[in-house]
Amino acid sequence: MSRIDRDPAARSRLIGALATLVILWPLFQAAEVKPGVLFDPGNLKVIGNFLAGFLPPETGAEFMGYLAKATLETLAIATAGMALAFLIAVPMGYLATGAGREKATLNPITRSLLTILRGIPELVWALVFVRVFGLGPAAGVLALGLTYGGMLAKVYAEILESVDAAPARALRHNGAGRPLAILYGLIPQASKELASYTVYRWECAIRASVVMGFVGAGGLGQLMDQAMKMLNGGEAATILLAFMVLVFAADGFSGWLRRALDTPPANRASPFGWRSGGLGLVLVVSIVASFSYLEIGLKSLLTVEAAHSIGEFVAGFFPPDLSAEWLAKVGKGIWETLAISVVGTLLAAVAGLLLALPKWRAPFSFLLNTLRSVPELVWATITALAVGLGPFAGALALALHTTGVLGRLYAEALDNAPPAPGQALHLVGAPGGFAFLYGTLPGAAPQLIAYTLYRWEMNIRMAAILGFVGAGGLGQLLYFELSLFHHAQASTVIIAMLLLSIAVDQASARLRRWMA
């Protein structure tokens, strides 16, 4: 082969592949990945017994009443939290994004504020707010609003940056201001993705509000916690079912909304028809109803006593314990958490892509939805039974839930990828798989990579709290120290979580740039 006919990219590809292996190997070691344990007969028996306890699901009238009330509360927490998050996200996203600027500069102050909001997991926020405002939904709504506000703002900013910038640039050159250039040049391209991500986040909020019940913030989670503590498998099964119904309904709603965005506008001046009008009305009504149902008065948050207890509580966390001995322990926790997140995300990316392939979509979309509708924390209680306590259980739990999430996002990205290249390859006789690999996948790749890396950023936060149920990592440390009221030590762990999530954000952004 002559010199000019050698692929100039081959060397860097080879080095990249080797480097990936060198980095991943110790992480898999740290996550204690032992697939054999999954099929250990003893473990299989334990998990079998546990699942058998789920049948029959509890259907007593009294319990169903509790269930209905808790479901409403969960919905209300999620909706109110999302409303708060949206209020935070729109201005912050606008400030943070480089989209629509003449020079693509990013706003470092907003970005770091967003990182802090997102970097501390909602469950940790909720734990803190429960201490300050007492048990109840207010803590959940605030925790959701802050974390999800940070997440939404970041994703909005990135979606706006990822669409074709030329239309906005042209508008700016014609003298339009930045907000108008974004509205007229970028939103039309990004609206589908923005809306579908927002609705998807609302589903996540429902899941998150369930999990927050575990720390006393109300809703289905509190009910689940009680059921689990009393080892009432029947009740747990019913709660899980209710939960899945909620998520499926949200999924249907999201699909309907995306289809609605696809319909061409009616032939009249106003682009808004009865559907958009009705939707807006429902949205406003449900947000108002959520806040009044939860009886969240802002007044109670603004009293002198509240301010005092906040101050006292926060002061307890300072100064953080920075002794060498404790730092070494936290360091080990960080490494384990990182390993859990990487292994979990990778396993999920592979499984999710397989399940998202157009060919297999139909039979597996139910599976994806089921995987997705069960929160990581609940999966972790189950995987811990299957493979024993420790980081592998955490990685598996992450992988199970993330497979559902990524599978669905991948499916959407593949649907939205330009179909022409794949079709053209079908027309030259390429087998379906290769038409996909050569034609469709490259078109969807930026989206797939962005979703995976973004999910990894989420999973690092999740990996940090999976330890609450004994699945290793920083969470185990935090839970331990908080229950012993060792606030200085807990503070170190929270700071470590924040730093870890910032580091992962940076790494992820760098990887995205490198792969783009």
Partner 1 sequence: MSFALNGVGLTHANGFTALREITLKAEKGERIALIGPSGAGKTSLLSVLGTALAPTVGTAEVLDFGQNFRLTVELAKLRARIGTVHQAPPIPGRQRVVTAVLAGKLGQWPAWKSLASLLYPLDVVGARAALERVDLADKLFARCDQLSGGQLQRVGIARVLYQQPELILADEPVSALDPTLALATIRLLIAEAEARGATLVASLHAVDLAIGNFSRIVGVKAGRIAFDLPASEITVPLLHDLYASEGDELPVQAHEPHFLSQAAANEAATRAACC
Contact residues toward partner 1 (CB under 8 A) are: 1, 4-10, 13, 418, 420-421, 423-431, 433-435, 437-443, 445-446
Least separation in angstroms between CB 113 and partner 1: 33
Q: Is 295 exposed, middle or buried (0-12, 13-18, 19+ CB in 10 A)?
A: exposed
Least separation in angstroms between CB 214 and partner 1: 42
Least separation in angstroms between CB 505 and partner 1: 24
Cα dihedral sign, 67-68-69-73: positive
Q: Name which of 106 and 515 has its Cβ closer to partner 1.
A: 515
**Rounded (10°) CA dihedral 36, 41, 45, 46:** -50
Amino acid occupying residue 120: I
Least separation in angstroms between CB 233 and partner 1: 47
Q: Name which of 388 and 443 has its Cβ closer to partner 1.
A: 443
Least separation in angstroms between CB 443 and partner 1: 4
Q: Name which of 200 and 436 has its Cβ closer to partner 1.
A: 436
Q: Name which of 130 and 425 has its Cβ closer to partner 1.
A: 425
Least separation in angstroms between CB 414 and partner 1: 12
Residues with Cβ within 8 Å of 396's Cβ and at least 6 positions away in sequence, in order, are: 344, 347, 379, 383, 386, 387
Name the 3-class secondary structure at 62. Answer: helix
Q: Name which of 15 and 245 has its Cβ closer to partner 1.
A: 15
Rama region for 292: left / alpha / beta (φ>0; ψ in -120 to 50; rest): alpha
Scanning 213-273, the segments in alpha helix (DSSP H) are 220-229, 233-262
Cα dihedral sign, 421-422-426-430: positive
Instruction: Tell me the angle at which helices 122-133 and 304-315 cross, rounded to the nearest 10 degrees.
Output: 130
Q: Name which of 252 and 432 has its Cβ closer to partner 1.
A: 432
Measure the CA–CA gap between 247 and 168, rounded to whole angstroms: 36
Least separation in angstroms between CB 163 and partner 1: 13
Least separation in angstroms between CB 78 and partner 1: 36
Q: Is 39 exposed, middle or buried (0-12, 13-18, 19+ CB in 10 A)?
A: exposed
Q: Name which of 9 and 315 has its Cβ closer to partner 1.
A: 9
Least separation in angstroms between CB 195 and partner 1: 24
Name which of 191, 178, 202, 196 is nearest 271 in CA terms.
191
Q: Is 177 exposed, middle or buried (0-12, 13-18, 19+ CB in 10 A)?
A: exposed
Q: Name which of 8 and 56 has its Cβ closer to partner 1.
A: 8
Task: Judge whether 63 and 242 are in contact, CB under 8 Å.
Answer: no
Q: Name which of 115 and 440 has its Cβ closer to partner 1.
A: 440
Q: Name which of 262 and 305 has its Cβ closer to partner 1.
A: 262
Residue whose token pair is 């797939």: 448
Least separation in angstroms between CB 262 and partner 1: 16
Amino acid occupying residue 515: M
Residues with Cβ within 8 Å of 47's Cβ and at least 6 positions away in sequence, in order, are: 382, 385, 386
